[in-house]
Amino acid sequence: MNLMLFGAPGAGKGTQAKFLIEKYNIPQISTGDILRAAIADKTDMGMEAKKFMDEGKLVPDSTIIGIIKDRLAESDCKDGFILDGFPRTLPQAESLNELMSDMGISLDRVISLNVPDELIVGRITGRRVCPKCGASLHVEFNPSKEEKVCDYCGGELIIRKDDNAETVKSRLEAYHAQTAPLIDFYTNMNVFTELDGTKDVSEVTKDMIESLS
Ligand code: AP5
Ligand code: MG
Ligand code: ZN
């Protein structure tokens, strides 16, 4: 199953990806997580990307497309994958189509988690993430059992560098200007499914699994 999770920053893509990994036993490919790992490793690519991410701007397409090309070629993707946070621009979506067609595969479904901008700020400023396993919790809406400790792997929960009210504004702007046009792109491909992302985490998971079966 080749899936994509689509939605604004903070819509719940990372949160829901965790359930799909378990259900379908396929990897999550989050370009945001890959970029943050490159920053932690202080690679040239990471250092270049960091400038954009800290300002809430999109990293250039050429960098992102290179990352995805390498990642999809890895053996754990052979039975499918969950794209999270990619593609985010029309050129990225077009490159993905070309890449997948070269690989002889196609996208089964794009699941869009709809959450209005007014709710996004609270979600992002209360988020706590686990750098070890990528879990995404929330102080109020999805609290960890133990404060600052990841429920999944025991790692220490931290606040992401770009999770502040100022950066959220530019991330939302980037989403509306550059990413939202993909709704038409994937609707035309007949793979686009919209879900109400404002429901509780478990209800969104239920709707998502139902829409895939
Ligand atoms: P990325 O890491 O992808 O960030 P994002 O798109 O801004 O998305 P988030 O990770 O913030 O949100 P999410 O939808 O995963 O929400 P989550 O599940 O965590 O990208 C970061 C940066 O990298 C970008 O700004 C850009 O610079 C760069 N980048 C990455 N990919 C790129 C690309 N393809 N092209 C160019 N640049 C790229 O949930 C959010 C919070 O809400 C959590 O606290 C969670 O617990 C809570 N929550 C989740 N679901 C619910 C619910 N149903 N009810 C209540 N709370 C909930
Ligand atoms: Mg995420
Ligand atoms: Zn963890």
Ligand 1 geometric centre to CA of 200 (Å): 17
Q: SS3 of 46, please? A: helix
Question: Which atom, in ligand 1's list, is nearest to the CA of 52?
Answer: 27
163 has pLDDT over 90: yes
- What pTM was computed for the model? 0.96
Q: Which domains does the chain have, with CATH numbers?
A: 2-115+178-212 (3.40.50.300)
Q: Rounded distance, CA 69 to CA 21, Å?
A: 20
Pocket of ligand 1 (CB under 6 A): 7, 9-15, 30-32, 35, 52-53, 56-59, 64, 85-88, 92, 123, 126-127, 136-138, 141-142, 171, 199-201, 204
Give per-residue pLDDT as tens, 91-133: 999 999 999 999 999 999 999 999 999 999 999 999 999 988 8
Ligand 2 geometric centre to CA of 135 (Å): 9
Pocket test for ligand 1, best of 20, 30, 45, 59 (most atoms within 8 A of CB): 59
Mean pLDDT calculated for residue range 1-21 = 96
Whether a cis peptide bond, with omega within 30° of 0, leads into 143 is no
65 pLDDT band, cuts 50/70/90, is: very high
Sheet holding 2-6, edge to edge: 28-30, 81-84, 2-6, 109-114, 192-196
Helices (runs of H) and strands (runs of E) counted in the chain: 9, 7
